[in-house]
Structure 1
Amino acid sequence: MAGTGKGTTTLTHLGVEGRADMVDVGEKAITERTATASGVVTMEPETLKIILDGNAKKGDVIGTARIAGIMAAKRTHDLIPLCHPLLLNKVSVDIEPDDALPGLRVSATVRVSGKTGVEMEALTAVSVACLTIYDMAKALEKGMVISDIRLLKKTGGKSGDWRSGEA
């Protein structure tokens, strides 16, 4: 929806005839923008131990997932219709074990100096990192669950800063 999400009801990617359109950002100011997203892959404790010990048959699960997330953020415009190609300043993907899940917590922060935000890039980075974890460990456990992928915060742009109540 257009605006800050505080009750606005117009969609920015729909033209007057209801046709999907890419938003024209040509007149927008270049500002520093960041977005952070997160997600979780839950698994059996034994699966987590094998991943952390570096004994998965496909190799370094966490390192490969981190690279996959970074690559995905850079290719978001190829994956999500109507996203603008962006020259990203920074993409960081962090993957931390959580024995309480048990599983892995994935977060991604993306930064750009540009005319449009990077929320989709952060969400795509997390999604693909989680999918890569699943792919690399599915021989160990097919019942892993990918969940809780969400935007935690964003800064910059006309709508200003936003933070999830859970961030």
Structure 2
Amino acid sequence: MTKLTHLNDAGQAEMVDVTAKSMTERVAVAEATVTMQPATLKLIMEGGHKKGDVFTVAKIAGVQAAKQCANLIPLCHPLMLTSIKVDLQADEANSRVIIQSRCKLAGQTGVEMEALTAASVAALTIYDMCKAVDKDMVIGDIRVLEKRGGKSGHWQADSVVEREHG
């Protein structure tokens, strides 16, 4: 079994030393979903929510969250992100919003945590803005879809590979 990277030889938590790692372009894509009542999704899509444009606010919250990741997750490195994208898509058939975030940089460590944080906080923002009209919303399926760069190269979640190939 592979050793956990955030534990030292004594089993104590510590930040990974990335000093000797190569600078490479690193990209991570993450996803989250917010499932809700069809009427709530319709309200969001038609722009009729009294709190304003839910998708725009959630997108901005996701971008801000990615930039704050090292302040939220104790052993994350502070990173100089060069690109953060947060996209939201209404999935009417399943009465949910699909959130995808993409973070990128040239650096010595990956950006999976930043992408996950962006997607998660965008989902939390949707929940916060819509909880008055739909208390049964469910945030779920938070996961990394893809990562590129570094020693481990390119990786995609099995479900993404299946969707692309078949």
- 2-structure distance, mates of 1:56, 1:81: 36
The residue that corresponds to 1:140 in the other structure is 133
1:154 maps onto 2:147 in alignment: yes
- 1-structure distance, mates of 2:121, 2:132: 18
1:48-106 deviation line (CA, Å, top 9, x unaligned): 01111111121111000000000000110001110000000100000000011101110
The residue that corresponds to 1:13 in the other structure is 6
1:56 maps onto 2:53 in alignment: no
State how many pairs are aligned: 160
- 1-structure distance, mates of 2:30, 2:135: 25
**Normalization by structure 1: what TM-score?**
0.94
1:23 maps onto 2:1 in alignment: no
Give the aligned residue type for 1:38.
E
- 2-structure distance, mates of 1:61, 1:91: 19
1:126, distance to aligned residue in structure 2 (A): 0.3
Runs of 4+ in 1 over 6 A off after TM superposition: none
- 2-structure distance, mates of 1:48, 1:140: 11
- 2-structure distance, mates of 1:117, 1:9: 18
More helix by share: 2
Q: Spell out the pairing of 1:1-167 with structure 2 (5 A cutoff).
A: 8-167=1-160
Give the aligned residue type for 1:15.
N
**Normalization by structure 2: what TM-score?**
0.95
**Unpaired stretches in structure 2, ≥5 consecutive residues:** 161-166
Moved more, 48-57 or 28-37: 48-57
**Unpaired stretches in structure 1, ≥5 consecutive residues:** 1-7
